[in-house]
Structure 1
Amino acid sequence: MKKTFFLFSTFIVISLTTKAQTDPTIKTSPKVNAERTLETLQRRLSLTDKQKTGLYLILLEQNNKIDSLKNIQAPRVIIKEQVKSSYQKIAGLLTPDQLKEYDNWMTEIRSKASH
């Protein structure tokens, strides 16, 4: 569970900073981050329409909350709790095979981020 939580945390950080790395003067909105993440998940997981809708709402809510928490300089532990909560919601929407692929994708992201 700790590994999965860490992987999901890494995913969120990467998804929130992807655009910022392209142009550091532009801050990407939580909505844009949620849409981009959903596009990637659709390609990798072959989501149903119901899953796409649910994941989009979870990602958008999470991105908005994390953005707000960062704006008030909340402690990392609070941000991690938000990420953990979102992961549990996402895991509830995915099939076991999709969740395994999702976790594999998170491992890839973590690996790329560490290099």
Structure 2
Amino acid sequence: MPHLQTLRLWRYDDYPWTSNRPHYSIYRYEVLLLAWLKSLQTPESVAQHVTIFEQDLSQLVKNLKEFTFLDIFGKIYYKKVEPYRLMAQALFPHSRVDVEISRFRLWL
């Protein structure tokens, strides 16, 4: 799909945007999921997700030659809003970026 121009996604939360997600068995899923979600609120985890999201965005733009707009709708942990915005502005300095707790939008 190298000619894709617009990509719109809806995710319940922003953690699936990245490949940094644990794989738990169904039996222990609820208990371990809650512990994992709490661990995602640390500054180290936020930085790790920003780095992974940056790599994913770079790869997406590199592979889609005519790409102009990305719209991801879902919940973003409030401590990630500013780091995501800063990362996108640094990665794409001549683009428009809009990051809120419910949406990530990037116009290239």
For normalisation by structure 2, the TM-score amounts to 0.31
For normalisation by structure 1, the TM-score amounts to 0.29
- The higher relative CO (CA closer than 8 Å, separation ≥ 6) is in 1
Structure number with greater Rg is 2
Query: Which structure has more helix as a fraction of its residues?
Result: 1
